[in-house]
Amino acid sequence: MGDKTLNDFVSQYFKQQQEVFGNIFYSEKDTSLSSIEKVLLHEGTKTEMGDYEEKKIIISDLPTDLFTHEPDWKKTKSLDSLYEKIHNCQNCPLGATRKNFVFGTGNPEADIMLIGEAPGADEDEQGKPFVGRAGQLLTKIIESIGLSRDDVFICNIIKCRPPENRAPFPSEIDECEPYLIKQIELIQPKFILALGLTAIDTLLKKKNKMAEIRGIVQNYHGIKMVVTYHPAALLRNPNWKKLVWDDVRQLRRLYDEYLNSKLKI
């Protein structure tokens, strides 16, 4: 019996027990076998287990992870290991339509992470984030505050290109966001620059309006987050470039304050 089949069977067994008896599980007196082993012995077979005696186990007291299996990628200790574990992901339909899994690039110990929405056609072709026209503009934006792409880490909320560059579906974000969270955990950045409302709304778990949220430093699980327009939006609306310039200068000021505070220690 495979692990998934076993887990499904045992979970279903306890659910049925709970529906019939409430939060009480009835088991046999023999304690030489674990509860799980006893369940397996009763699966499609008749065995003599000795005299039966009512034994109460409160289901709510059972470990919550008793029948769950943590994916190997969650145990990774480096970005390289994480990439090896997840780059063949097929958890959503985008896995079948992508050319390349766009993991992210840059400094694995970066103080600043830039997070966009999703890969486009150029990114899908090359397997790297922000390499098309919007990416070239982003490179100039980064350089305008005295940094390079090698100084920061750049990635997206989701790792595969949605067809025709449509916005990611919520179900696709749900599948892929845990990978992003793991990247953040491994990199441990001090600052995040969120590019565009899809990235902002996903990270903050609420709908936002750019005009209302720009210029206000957000808190993402203890990490200072600056928000601004996606570079692709600037290609359509060049008059927003001044606003983005203000936003990245705000990020640079925060970063300089952080660097100065380190020197004083």
Q: Do the Cβ atoms of 101 and 89 come closer than 8 Å? A: yes
Domain count, the chain: 2
The SS3 assignment for 156 reads: strand
Alpha-helical runs (H) found in 68-145: 79-86, 94-97, 121-126, 133-144
Residue corresponding to tokens 């606003």: 243
Residue 2, pLDDT > 60, answer no
Residue 31 Cα to chain centre, angstroms: 42
The mean-pLDDT minimum among 27-31, 101-105, 146-150, 188-192 falls in 27-31
Whether residue 206 is contained in a domain is answered as yes
The SS3 assignment for 155 reads: strand
Burial class (CB in 10 A: 0-12, 13-18, 19+), 175: buried
- Which H or E run contains 29? none
Number of C-beta neighbours around residue 181 at 10 A: 13
Whether residue 116 is contained in a domain is answered as yes
Residues 27 and 122 in one domain: no
Name the domain boundary from 41, 61, 81. 61
Whether residue 244 is contained in a domain is answered as yes
Task: Return the structure tokens found at 26.
Answer: 């009835």
State the pLDDT at residue 187: 98
Name the domain boundary from 61, 85, 107. 61
Q: Do the Cβ atoms of 123 and 141 come closer than 8 Å? A: no
Residues 247 and 200 in one domain: yes
Residues 8 and 121 in one domain: no
Residues 87 and 197 in one domain: yes
What pLDDT, in 10s, does the model give residues 194-250? 999 999 999 999 999 999 999 999 999 999 999 999 999 999 999 999 999 999 999
State the pLDDT at residue 5: 52
Name the domain boundary from 39, 61, 83. 61
Residues 97 and 185 in one domain: yes
d(CA 166, CA 200) in angstroms, rounded, equals 17
State the pLDDT at residue 171: 97
Whether residue 216 is contained in a domain is answered as yes
d(CA 69, CA 196) in angstroms, rounded, equals 35
Residue 149, pLDDT > 80, answer yes
Q: Which domain holds residue 52?
A: 3-61
Residues 10 and 87 in one domain: no
State the pLDDT at residue 29: 44
- Which H or E run contains 21? helix 3-21
Amino acid letter for position 65: D
Whether residue 204 is contained in a domain is answered as yes
Residues 25 and 87 in one domain: no
The mean-pLDDT minimum among 26-30, 100-104, 133-137, 244-248 falls in 26-30
State the pLDDT at residue 21: 54
State the pTM of this model: 0.75
Amino acid letter for position 108: P
Whether residue 67 is contained in a domain is answered as no
Residue 109 sits in a domain whose CATH number is 3.40.470.10
The SS3 assignment for 249 reads: helix
Residues 19 and 144 in one domain: no
Residue 27, pLDDT > 60, answer no
Residue-level length of the chain: 265
Residues 200 and 126 in one domain: yes
Residue 182, pLDDT > 80, answer yes
Residues 83 and 141 in one domain: yes
The mean-pLDDT minimum among 21-30, 174-183, 185-194 falls in 21-30
Number of C-beta neighbours around residue 65 at 10 A: 8
